[in-house]
Chains A and B, each alone.
Chain A
Amino acid sequence: MLPEVNVMAMSAVARDTIFALRRQIAKIEGTLPERLQAPAPGAPGAIPGKVRSGFPSGIAENQISNNAGGTDMTLVRRGLAVASADAFLHTGIERLDTALGGGLPKAALSEIHGLETRDAGAVAGFALSLVSLILKEKQGLPVLWVGTAEIFHEAGLPYAKGLHALFGIEPEQLLFSETPKLLDALWIAEEAARMTAFAAVILEIRGSPQRLDLTATRRLHARAQSANRPVLLLRQAGAADPTAAPVRLVVSAAPSASRETVAGPLAGSIGRPAFTVDIGKSRTALPGQFTLEWNPDEHAFAERTENSVAVVPTSQRGADPAPASGAVLAFPAVASSASGDQPSRQQHPAHRSPRRAG
């Protein structure tokens, strides 16, 4: 994760350090991307020239000679930094696209994390909405969902009927693969990632297994790049391990808005799926948290700027620090009836009492 840096405002020494660090990170990740401040089109001194196009997805390399700072400096830009706009999947949310540096890379491995196994529904829903966006361009292509037996047992199998209604993915487009061993799941995902016959490959894994290291993600990423197809790695209850994936998003469920009716929002009803998306890692290293709502009719995202639900309930445990993204237990013990942190009856927010709709 890189800090957001304004290149122009920094001293030369600090800039060099940052560049060196970035180069090192890129080397570890197996790609050589250098995300710098994109020069304004037609800026003096910027001579974009295509050197080599080793990437099939229109991802090119540029060599830019920069004279602006008075010192001669040559920056080599590679990878997604100068990729064409076509190389990204636009989520439809401008802020999110900007924060991701143009959108989610199409020909790459992307990690989607859920902090706890109980978030599996939200993580799967978010991944499937991305797949639904991908399928808008690649209609009819099948989607492969690879998972270990453990995760399918813990979080349930994707339910074809629900997927069709929400995301427009036909049941005959879906293929599942379930293996007891992680190694086999990785093998299947790798074999599938190099095929162009799939619209997307989803690999779902629970926890932080040792096998899923930098090498494994690098292999997946390389295959996704050469096949020009996205691979989504869903990690339930996993730590933020080193990964070769250029993007890591942390997804959790957000309270949904009420259903819209002719007579206004229907109180107490549960509307469209909503997700809270945190950017854990991206090329631009811009931080950001977004609350997205999925529109199942138009198959598009919408951002919720202010909370349309009355209130998000306060934490049960008072001022709770954000949980460290690491050793998260599957089911942390909920503070039982410790009287101290239970709000009294009068303090109960009105929305907390269950209501029935319809």
Chain B
Amino acid sequence: MISHRDNNTQRIAALDERAEALKLKRGMGIADARAMHPSIDVVEADAEADRRLLEGLADWCDRYTPLVAIDGEDGLFLDVTGCTHLFGGERAMQDEILTRFFQQGFDVRAGLASTPGAAWAAARFHGDCIVAGGEEEALLSPLPLSALRIAPETRTGLESVGLRTAGAVMAAPRAPLARRFGATLLLRLDQALGRLDEAVSPRLPVAPLSVERHLAEPIVLTDDIERLVSRLAIALKTDLERRGEGARTLALLLFRVDGAVSRIAVGTSRPMREPRLIQRLFHERLTALEQTIDAGFGFDLVRLSVLSVAAFDLAQGDLTGEVADDDADIALFADRVRARLGEAAVLKPLIVESHLPERAVKTVPFAEAPQRRAPAAGRAVAPRTAPPMTVYPPERPVRLFRSPEPIEVPATEIPEGPPMNFRWRRALYRVARAEGPERIAAEWWRQLPGEEEAPTRDYYRIEDSEGRRYWLYRQGLYGSAPRAAPPRWFMHGVFA
């Protein structure tokens, strides 16, 4: 028996058959139940766990249709339009779903109808029935008002005026109903009867393309999965070719016999349709996930879906049939590394217009970086001739620290000058030569109105007594304000 707290009282939220046999009911206070039967076992409800379980079941139901939606706390909508013939018709499909759920240990009620509203009512008030198109009215008429999916206040209102069944509401004139109880009631009624369309919004985006294979004998080994992936990818290729597209995101869904579903996604940095490459990407991903995927008793359904597509540019090969494309190699390499080690494993620097050194170069994941135009093979690239420089750009270090590291500067020769020595990471450095300063002001256009202006930075190139060259800066100015904090020094980079 499961209890939950409602209005400061512990009440029974759910109970099993043996508890029902003891004449206990849902909604009864736990204190009352204990008084009747002191030996009952009460467990606190865990809404989070219930939700997780429901989502797991929704994942599992993906095997019947890609359009699965979660309904409230205890229901699932499956839009099986166009899917029933795959399972031998509506009746056979519903039976299979119920049987499988029963074998997994769930007590499930199902209803199948041509509108979500009617199916909802059929599942909750009828149980295991199939409503043919046009028979919704006959199904709903004898049912109580709660079968209409309306708010409890509306229901009490309707009951207080003597409309106790859905049929009574249907027979009542519409205009007064709408005036008194709002448009929602009529909307629900029309949706249940099929006069208005109701869309079930699926919890996952529907893949444009997917191929799957049901297996009579569940598979366990990673090698078998990979082999299956390449078979599915071959099937996928013809579809992609017909559409003139390539896959950008692919997902592999592994349905375990006992209901758990593993979803493995890989992204590509350029559209892809070659089965061999798809298999290599999944190979890396599966290798990385080897510890986390639990095959259990095996997977009996494997589905490969294309989650997003992009136009595929065909490359013209030469007479030998080989397309020498270095960029494609690099894209594949980056995708494989990404599949194995995550999104940020391969980064590309991107120059951004900014004065602040740390902002001037942004690193973005390879897949998001703008693609480089490859020079045509066989043609020598003319060396880039830079325009003659009139103003030499200030020198920039070879390495830049992620965040400037504070250093201790005991003394400078003149207040605004470079340090004579400094302490960085607990070691003392003696400054032999210094160049600078190069003043870089904060970007005022970024600061919010009313915010204090960020202090300027004075950058110095420093060479220490052993010949190493550093890039230091002083943040703030000496004596700028009477009570201002003294300027601080930071190490920002190292030169070659």
Q: Which residues of A contact B (CB under 8 A)?
A: 118-122, 124-126, 128-129, 139-142, 152-153, 155-163, 165-166, 171-172, 174-179, 184, 187-188, 191-192, 195-198, 252-256, 268-270, 273-276, 294, 312-313, 316, 331-334, 336, 351-358
Let me know if A178 and B345 touch, CB within 8 A.
yes
Interface-forming stretch among B176-184, B333-341, B478-486? B333-341
Q: How big is the B interface, by class?
A: 35 or more
- Determine which residue in B327, B348, B420 has the highest number of CB atoms from chain A within 10 A of its CB, and name it: B348
User: Which of chain A's residues has its CB closest to B342's CB?
Assistant: A179
CB distance from B236 to the nearest CB of A (A): 25
Please give the distance in Å from A347's CB to the nearest CB on chain B: 14
Distance, CA A126 to CA B350, complexed state (A):
23
Residues of chain B within 8 A of A256, CB atoms compared: 463, 467, 469
Residues of B within 8 A of A (CB): 326-327, 329-330, 333-334, 336-337, 340-341, 344-351, 357, 360-361, 363, 366, 372, 375, 380-381, 383, 393, 395-402, 413, 417-420, 425-428, 430-436, 461, 463, 465-470, 493-496
Give the nearest-CB partner of B372 in chain A: A172
Q: How far is the CB of A32 from chain B (nearest CB, A)?
A: 31
Kindly state the separation between the CA atoms of A71 and B363 in the bound complex, as whole angstroms. Answer: 64
B346 touching A124, Cβ below 8 Å: no
- A156 lies within 8 A of B463 (CB): no
- A122–B398 CA distance with the chains assembled, in angstroms: 9
CA distance A175 to B326 in the complex (A): 14
B425 contacts A352, CB within 8 Å? no
Residues of A contacting B381 in the complex (Cβ-Cβ under 8 angstroms): 139-140
A353–B430 Cα distance when bound, in Å, is 9
In the assembly, what is the distance between CA of A270 and CA of B83, in Å?
75
Whether B469 and A174, one on each chain, are in contact in the complex, defined by CB atoms closer than 8 angstroms, is: no
Taking the closest CB of chain B, its distance from the CB of A52, in whole angstroms, is 27
Contact B469 A175 (CB under 8 A): no
Q: In the bound complex, do residue B396 and residue A165 qualify as a contact, i.e. CB atoms below 8 Å apart?
A: yes
List 26 interface pairs A-B (beta carbons < 8 Å), by A numbering: A118-B468, A120-B399, A121-B397, A121-B399, A121-B470, A126-B496, A139-B381, A160-B351, A162-B398, A162-B493, A165-B396, A171-B361, A172-B372, A176-B346, A177-B345, A178-B344, A198-B330, A252-B467, A270-B435, A274-B467, A316-B430, A331-B427, A354-B419, A354-B434, A355-B433, A356-B418
The one of B372, B418, B496 that contacts A273, using a Cβ cutoff of 8 Å = B496
Q: Do B363 and A157 have beta carbons less than 8 Å apart?
A: yes
A356 to B466, CA, bound (A): 18
- The complex places the Cα of A191 from the Cα of B432 at a distance, in Å, of 44
Q: Give the chain A neighbours of B375 by CB distance below 8 A.
A: 140
Q: Does A175 lie within 8 Å of B432, measured CB to CB?
A: no
Which of B334, B363, B433, B494 interacts with A268 by CB under 8 Å? B433
Task: Give Cα A45 to B261, complex, Å.
Answer: 74
Q: Measured between C-beta atoms, what is the minimum distance from A136 to chain B in Å? A: 9
Q: Are B496 and A121 in contact (CB under 8 A)?
A: yes
Q: Is the interface of A mostly helix, strand, loop or mixed?
A: mixed
Q: Are the CB atoms of A175 and B427 closer together than 8 Å? A: no
Which one, B345, B395, B396, contacts A179 given CB within 8 A?
B345
B361 is contacted by which of A160, A191, A332 (Cβ under 8 Å)?
A160
- In the bound complex, residues from chain B placing their C-beta under 8 Å from that of A159 are 357, 361, 396-400, 493
With A175-B330, A270-B461 given, name 12 new contacts (CB 8 A).
A140-B375, A158-B398, A162-B400, A162-B493, A166-B398, A172-B372, A175-B347, A176-B363, A196-B326, A352-B465, A354-B419, A356-B436
| A156-B398 Cα distance, complex, nearest whole Å | 9
Total A-B pairs in contact (CB under 8 Å)?
206
Instruction: Please name all residues of chain A whose beta carbon is closer than 8 Å to the beta carbon of B346 when the two chains form the complex.
Output: 175-177
In the assembled complex, which residues on chain A have CB atoms less than 8 Å from the CB atom of B349?
160, 171, 174, 176
Contact assessment for B361 and A161 in the assembled complex, using a CB-CB cutoff below 8 Å: yes
The answer to whether B333 touches A192 (Cβ under 8 A) is: yes
Given contacts A253-B466, A351-B433, A175 and B366 within 8 Å (CB-CB): yes
Docked-complex contact B397 and A197, CB < 8 angstroms: no
Given contacts A125-B398, A354-B434, contact A255 B467 (CB under 8 A): yes
Q: Which residues of B contact A122 (CB under 8 A)?
A: 468, 496
CB distance from B291 to the nearest CB of A (A): 14
Tell me, in angstroms, the Cα distance from A353 to B346 when the chains sit together: 44
Interface pairs A-B: 8 shortest CB-CB? A125-B496, A121-B494, A156-B399, A160-B349, A162-B396, A273-B496, A197-B326, A255-B467
A355 to B418, CA, bound (A): 8
Q: Would you call A191 and B433 a contact (CB within 8 A)?
A: no
> How many Å lie between the Cα of A19 and that of B417 in the bound state?
61
Query: When the two chains form their complex, are residues A353 and B468 in contact, meaning their CB atoms are under 8 A apart?
Result: no
> Bound state CA distance, A270 and B337, in angstroms?
41
User: Which of A172, A334, A353 is the most central at the interface, judged by chain B CB atoms within 10 Å of its CB?
Assistant: A172
B469 touches A121 (CB 8 A): yes
Give, as a whole number of angstroms, the nearest-CB distance from A91 to chain B: 16
Contact A179 B399 (CB under 8 A): no
Alpha-carbon gap, A326 to B282, bound state (A): 42
B contact residues around A191 at 8 Å (CB): 333, 336-337
Q: Which residues of B contact A125 (CB under 8 A)?
A: 398, 495-496
If A255-B467, A354-B419, A355-B434 touch, does A121 touch B398 (CB 8 Å cutoff)?
yes
Pairwise interchain contact A331-B330, C-beta atoms closer than 8 A: no
Bound-state Cα–Cα, A198 to B331, Å: 12
**Contact partners of B400 in chain A: CB under 8 A:** 156-157, 159, 162
CB-based contact A354/B418 at 8 Å? yes
How far apart are B102's CB and chain A's nearest CB, in angstroms? 45
| A276–B351 alpha-carbon span in the complex (Å) | 32
Is there an interface contact between A177 and B425, defined as CB atoms closer than 8 Å? no
Among the listed B399, B432, B434, B493, which residue makes an inter-chain contact with A356, where contact means beta carbons less than 8 Å apart? Answer: B434
> CA–CA, A124 to B399, complex, Å?
8
Cβ-closest chain A residue relative to B329: A197
A256 CB to closest chain B CB (Å) equals: 7
**Contact B418–A142 (Cβ < 8 Å):** no
Kindly list chain B residues whose C-beta atoms are within 8 Å of the C-beta of A192: 333
A191-B345 Cα distance, complex, nearest whole Å: 14
Nearest-CB distance from B402 to chain A (Å)? 7
Give A24 to B470 CA distance when docked, in angstroms: 44
The one of A128, A176, A254, A294 in contact with B347, judged by C-beta atoms closer than 8 angstroms, is A176
- Is A273 a contact partner of B345 (Cβ separation < 8 A)? no
Q: For B430, what are the chain A residues with a Cβ–Cβ distance below 8 Å?
A: 316, 352
The interface residues of chain A lying within 8 Å CB-to-CB of B351 are 160-161, 171
Q: Is the CB of B496 within 8 A of A166?
A: yes
Residues of B within 8 A of A171 (CB): 349-351, 361
